[in-house]
Amino acid sequence: MNKEQLKKEQPVVYQTLSNALKRDHLAHAYLFVGPKGSPKNEMAVLLAQSLVCHHTDSDGFACQECDVCQRIRKEEAIDFKWIHGDKNRIKKKDILDLQSFFEATSVEIENRRIYFLEQFDQATPDASNSLLKFLEEPRPGIFAIISADEKSNVLPTIQSRCQWIQFRPASKQRFITMLEEMTDTESAKMLAQFGYTMEQAKEILAWPDFDLIKDSAKKYTMNWDDLSMILSMQREVFVAKSEHMQKEKIRFWLECVLYYTKENKKGISLSKQIHIQEILIEGMDMLRRPIELALFLDKLYNQIRKVVIS
Ligand SMILES: [Zn+2]
């Protein structure tokens, strides 16, 4: 994501940092807070680049193209350290290593060195305490960027030593673009439309029967007056007591059917489509209650079939 996209995606964050950069009025520590999927990492890299790039633009941001910017982006610059906390929790050792790294290495670029602690809300309590000591003795030219999904999971004493920058949730288009790295465009669009969070979408994409459920919904909407279609749903997909027969999977299947009802309009009048959509939405609502799933599905197939052949 380049700076133009960041400006569009996060105008308030962009403006706040732009003002600080232009006036050279920078905090020595920033706390980037925002839900998963918001471009905190991209903004951290841009801020780090902007602190050292010699070709800043009129907004105060880095060119993102020069040698220095490239090295930061590739994490090859000696004066930029990114501790990736997304897979492993940041530990005390990571913070101590960082401290000794900054003490041992010579200053390479413009007397400014930046460290980025990603997903610090997952860090261990020991890591938080070590970081606090680090932050309590700010050294000129060292900048901290700390990111967290939830501000409340960061020690209040750390919060108070940072300038807090709030990110807004990712736009639908960005959500789709991120999902497209994991799946096809159609599935990405569907998951975005269904209103899942990034975490939920990732979980659903990891289901071994994701394709089976989605494809069966598509086939179903193309042949739903056909009794053999219902039989194959009963025998091949939502078989009683099978691993597919779970509420969240049936809910996802209903969402897919709703999606394809709108996509494959052929042969069905608008009033029938609306009627079917009502049945599906009511079905999703019923799934919130304790129900017998096989019975629920049989009733639903029959209700829809009645509408189609009426
Ligand atoms: Zn540059």
φ and ψ of 224, to 5 deg: -80, -5
Cα 45 to averaged position of ligand 1 atoms, centre (Å)? 12
Question: Rounded to an integer, what distance in angstroms lies between the CA atom of residue 268 and that of residue 225?
Answer: 11
CATH topology of domain 3-169: Rossmann fold (3.40.50)
Cα 37 to averaged position of ligand 1 atoms, centre (Å)? 25
pLDDT in tens, 210-249: 999 999 999 999 888 888 888 888 888 888 878 888 899 9
pLDDT in tens, 111-144: 789 999 999 999 999 999 999 998 998 888 899 9
Cα 14 to averaged position of ligand 1 atoms, centre (Å)? 17
Cα 88 to averaged position of ligand 1 atoms, centre (Å)? 30
Report the mean per-residue pLDDT for the chain: 90
Which residue in 250, 300, 309 sits closest to 277, CA to CA? 300
Sole residue written with tokens 């999703």: 284
Residue ranges per structural domain of the chain: 3-169, 207-309
Cα 110 to averaged position of ligand 1 atoms, centre (Å)? 13
Strand partners, 80: 114
Cα 193 to averaged position of ligand 1 atoms, centre (Å)? 37
Cα 53 to averaged position of ligand 1 atoms, centre (Å)? 4
* pLDDT of 262 strictly over 90: no
